[in-house]
């Protein structure tokens, strides 16, 4: 019996050691508190988790009352630009996430409301991809909903996903190699975050400016042959299928409107100009305008001056700050 126990201990020791190392190193920054979640390179971060925990960590100090909501396409609606259209004294926060879903936006509104915080101004950056998702529980570590937004209902599932990734041999190899050498090699980007713009990250507003890409564009060194290939055969103008036709999506969107009405929020909803030129379904657009008001919903999907020029995009999925700034100027002055 004693020998059997020794074998069990011997075989389980590496596993226990790896688990302990996971808690000490916290490679995905989902265990310990951080004033800046982008302070150094590690595993790919869950932007929804970072946005949520960073808000909870700082709300009592900065008393945020104005918010930009959306997926990664919202990142280039910069607060400095937005403040030209809302009261100067507004305390702003950028509540972004990766991928995005209807519940991702709703749960953030719920969280703010449950904490009795103000929502004086709001800007929602949505698109067909976001509206197609009610939640993202199946999307893996970069997109799974953080427990703080679900009343900890998915606490075990959330942390299990990250622990499983830690035990992925390739992730552990590349993560360890980078930590030992400090060199970010080809192939690592599939497993760890390179973070070219992280040094510009603002932990107060939760913004990630694209300074590296913008500086390359300014000197004419961004749209090279490799980059241009990204845009090839990506435009297929058509109407999307009807997306807002199930009870859960309808209920969730109406709850968003109820919270905004409770706070008497000054808000706008922008449907993003995606490079693929797919137009939001007319029934979905009409539903959004019926719920939120014609004057608050602005559709830039489909074929237009933004989607007709690749220079307006970093790649086929994200449009530039200049486009976002131009859109804000239009919706607040039109």
As a whole number of angstroms, the distance between CA 53 and CA 57 comes to 6
Strand pairing report for 66-70 and 92-96: parallel
| 193 contacts 43 by C-beta, under 8 angstroms | yes
| 129 contacts 143 by C-beta, under 8 angstroms | no
Give burial (CB, 10 Å; 0-12/13-18/19+) of 226: exposed
| 143 contacts 87 by C-beta, under 8 angstroms | no
| 99 contacts 71 by C-beta, under 8 angstroms | yes
For residue 199, what pLDDT is reported? 76
As a whole number of angstroms, the distance between CA 259 and CA 113 comes to 7
* Closest to 99 (Cα-Cα) out of 135, 68, 123, 124: 135
For residue 65, what pLDDT is reported? 97
For residue 137, what pLDDT is reported? 59
| Per-residue DSSP letter, 166 | H
* Closest to 319 (Cα-Cα) out of 131, 70, 83, 136: 70
As a whole number of angstroms, the distance between CA 208 and CA 115 comes to 26
List per-residue pLDDT tens for the chain, 334 residues long.
555 555 565 556 677 888 888 998 898 999 999 999 887 767 788 999 999 999 999 999 999 999 999 999 999 999 999 999 999 999 999 999 988 899 999 999 999 999 999 999 999 999 999 999 998 756 678 889 999 999 999 999 999 999 998 988 888 888 888 888 878 777 777 777 765 557 788 999 999 888 888 898 989 899 999 999 999 999 999 999 999 999 999 999 999 999 999 999 999 999 999 999 999 999 999 999 999 999 999 999 999 999 999 999 999 999 999 999 999 999 999 7
């Amino acid at each position: 019996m004693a020998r059997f126990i020794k074998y069990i201990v011997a075989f389980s020791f590496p596993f226990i050691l790896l688990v302990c190392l996971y808690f000490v190193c916290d490679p995905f920054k989902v265990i310990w508190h951080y004033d800046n979640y982008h302070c150094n390179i590690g595993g790919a971060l869950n932007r929804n988790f970072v946005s949520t925990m960073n808000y909870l960590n700082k709300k009592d100090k900065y008393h945020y009352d104005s918010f930009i909501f959306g997926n990664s396409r919202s990142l280039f609606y910069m607060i400095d630009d937005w403040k030209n259209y809302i009261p100067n004294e507004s305390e702003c926060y950028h509540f972004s996430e990766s991928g995005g879903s209807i519940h991702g936006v709703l749960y953030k509104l719920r969280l703010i409301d449950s904490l009795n915080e103000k929502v004086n101004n709001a800007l929602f950056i949505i698109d067909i991809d976001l509206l197609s998702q009610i939640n993202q529980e199946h999307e893996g570590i970069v997109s799974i909903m953080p427990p703080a937004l679900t009343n900890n209902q998915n606490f075990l599932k959330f942390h299990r996903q990250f622990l499983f990734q830690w035990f992925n041999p390739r992730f552990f190899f590349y993560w360890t190699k980078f930590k030992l050498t400090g060199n970010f090699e080809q192939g690592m980007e599939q497993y760890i975050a390179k973070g070219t713009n992280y040094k510009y990250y603002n932990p107060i507003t939760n913004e990630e400016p694209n300074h590296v890409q913008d500086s390359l564009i300014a000197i004419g060194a961004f749209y090279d042959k490799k980059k241009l290939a990204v845009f090839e055969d990506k435009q297929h103008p058509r109407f999307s299928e009807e997306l807002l036709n199930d009870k859960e999506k309808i209920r969730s969107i109406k709850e968003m409107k109820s919270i905004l009405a409770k706070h008497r929020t000054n808000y706008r909803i922008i449907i993003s100009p995606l490079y693929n030129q797919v137009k939001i379904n007319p029934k979905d657009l009409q539903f959004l305008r019926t719920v939120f008001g014609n004057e608050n919903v602005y559709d830039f999907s489909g074929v237009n001056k933004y989607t007709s020029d690749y220079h307006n995009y970093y790649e086929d999925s994200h449009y530039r700050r200049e486009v976002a700034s131009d859109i804000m100027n239009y919706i607040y002055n039109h």
